[in-house]
Structure 1
Amino acid sequence: MAFTESIIAQFRRLENALSQALLRLQDPTDTEALHDVRINLRRIRSLLRPLRGIPGVAQLDNAAASLGKLTTPIRDLEVLIAELARHQLEWQTNVRKTELQSRNLALASHPLLFRFPKLLHGWPKSFRRAKRRHAKRRVADRLSRQVKQLRLALADTHYDRHRLRLLIKRVRYAADTYPQFALVTPEAAACLKTAQSALGDWHDRFVWCRQAENQQDLWPLLPEWQEAQETTLERAEAELFALSRALNL
């Protein structure tokens, strides 16, 4: 029962944090609201994913994944706008700010944005009613498999770096969400954070280069982005090596 109640208590904290972030979406000057929505969605999914098999978990996890996918291009646009503003490209920035406003309006009226909080609020009640035999042991086993999967991916030099970035996020958030299982050492936890940040920097440049291929007004920045894409990937590879060592100590 203690394990069940600890999950529900954490879930309620995440529900509250997500609700606050969703409310902040109504403020067009809050440039971090969507980012915080996405972070809390990831944390909720990290809590839910090891519980799959329990009634109601898959439905809620899938809804969270759908909301995350819905917000991805909007967040990418926010990051691009910040980059264009840094380069003082006023026209390109303003064009994309107009597009961002349109996308935000569409998001605000999307049915999932209204349906998801209701699903979220009702889940603890169904979780309490569900049969949860050996739930703690099953969660521990699934989390252990996540870490093992990441170790194997890090050992494979040909493993897709986009997928690897997602694996690192998954293990990092799982370790934060279930600290009682001590999935990784403090050193490995720090390496997870650094590697995720480094791969995030590379991923941003990768996305920008892709966009510049089809958006002529971005061409002036393409050479710089291409060079930065290479240097950020080199840095990320060094961080991945450090992470691999930390996870295998």
Structure 2
Amino acid sequence: MSFVDTFVVEILTLQVAVYHAHARLESRTDREALHDLRVAVRRIRSLLRPFRSMNVVVALSEAAAEFGRQTTPTRDLEVMIQELEERGFAKLVKPRSSRLGSSYDDIVNGSAFKNLLIQLDDWPSGFRLAEVKGELKHIQPQIKKTLRKQIDRLHAAVDDVQFDRHQLRILVKRTRYLTEAFPELSPLSRDAALSLKELQSALGSWHDHYQWCQKALVETDLQPLEQTWLSSATTALEKADTQLVDLAQRLPKRSGKKKLP
């Protein structure tokens, strides 16, 4: 099987995962359906990232990005509800659960998901046509180039103590998912990939607690938890900083090019 064949199969496999997770979300079978749906879409975006400037993938890439943006508030609400349940704040859960159900309906029947399905169906034929035209001859070098650029950005982030942690979280996620999409083309070692995953986890915990603290500023019923969340955010950020030092030791050398923003 050629590399292009394998690439197409990966996207089609994720498309099946999208259908499955969407069906679970529609039927309300479990609480991980939206999470799994978003992960499948995010992995599709990771596979397409090295080619996002190619006309043949622009529509699908944009549709996946838009679906991610529209479902982020709902996913944030899911995580918030889980946090409140675990801390025993049942009275705070009820009104938010009602909002969650309505948000699920909007996602299941929304235009963003319908457009995503349309683009997933249309994409393979266009990609195959690009292959016939010889536009994919340099597909593997392009993927390697994208990975090296992401790693150079990580080096820049590691060297800059003032680097915005929100931006770092996004950078880490993109590098990790791109590496997982193309492990055979990534210069990251297994240990570096594991370190990247642990850093993402710490930054994710910090991000969640930080966002909840921001919510508590406007949703007054959350204020009893504000100090607890602030403390947890600080702890998570300290852990992330430790993981960042570990990652710095495991990253491959820079490509030798100038620092990237």
Q: Name the TM-score class by shorter chain.
A: over 0.9
> Does the CA-based 8 Å contact 1:107-1:113 persist in structure 2?
yes
Matched, 1:241 2:240: no
Match of 1:228 in 2: 232
Match of 2:180 in 1: 176
Counterpart secondary structure, 2:26: coil
* 1:1-249 alignment, distance < 5 Å: 2-130=2-130, 131-248=135-252
Offset at 1:152?
Answer: 1.2
Offset at 1:103?
Answer: 1.3
> Does the CA-based 8 Å contact 1:205-1:225 persist in structure 2?
yes
> Does the CA-based 8 Å contact 1:54-1:127 persist in structure 2?
no
Counterpart secondary structure, 2:13: helix
Could you tell me which amino acid in structure 2 is paired with residue 184 of structure 1? L
Cα deviation 1:194-239 (Å, max 9, x = unaligned):
0000101111100100000001100111111111111111111111
> Does the CA-based 8 Å contact 2:63-2:115 persist in structure 1?
no
Bigger mean CA offset, 2-11 vs 203-212: 2-11
Could you tell me which amino acid in structure 1 is paired with residue 160 of structure 2? D
> Does the CA-based 8 Å contact 2:140-2:185 persist in structure 1?
no
> Does the CA-based 8 Å contact 2:84-2:92 persist in structure 1?
yes
Rounded to whole Å, the distance in 2 between the matches of 1:121 and 1:151 is 38
Q: Percent identity?
A: 38
Rounded to whole Å, the distance in 1 between the matches of 2:18 and 2:109 is 17
Counterpart secondary structure, 2:27: coil
Structure 1: tracts of 5 or more residues without a match: none
Offset at 1:183?
Answer: 2.7
Offset at 1:54?
Answer: 2.5
> Does the CA-based 8 Å contact 1:55-1:127 persist in structure 2?
no
Rounded to whole Å, the distance in 1 between the matches of 2:235 and 2:245 is 16
Could you tell me which amino acid in structure 2 is paired with residue 245 of structure 1? Q
RMSD value, Cα: 1.4
Could you tell me which amino acid in structure 2 is paired with residue 84 of structure 1? L
Rounded to whole Å, the distance in 1 between the matches of 2:29 and 2:220 is 28
> Does the CA-based 8 Å contact 1:46-1:177 persist in structure 2?
yes
Cα deviation 1:53-72 (Å, max 9, x = unaligned):
33221211111010001110
Cα deviation 1:59-101 (Å, max 9, x = unaligned):
1111101000111000000000011111111111111001111
Could you tell me which amino acid in structure 1 is paired with residue 226 of structure 2? L
Could you tell me which amino acid in structure 1 is paired with residue 142 of structure 2? R
Rounded to whole Å, the distance in 2 between the matches of 1:229 and 1:54 is 40
Could you tell me which amino acid in structure 2 is paired with residue 10 of structure 1? E
> TM-score scaled by structure 1?
0.96
Rounded to whole Å, the distance in 2 between the matches of 1:155 and 1:183 is 20
Cα deviation 1:128-165 (Å, max 9, x = unaligned):
10122322222221221111112211221111101111
Structure 2: tracts of 5 or more residues without a match: 254-261
Offset at 1:11?
Answer: 1.1
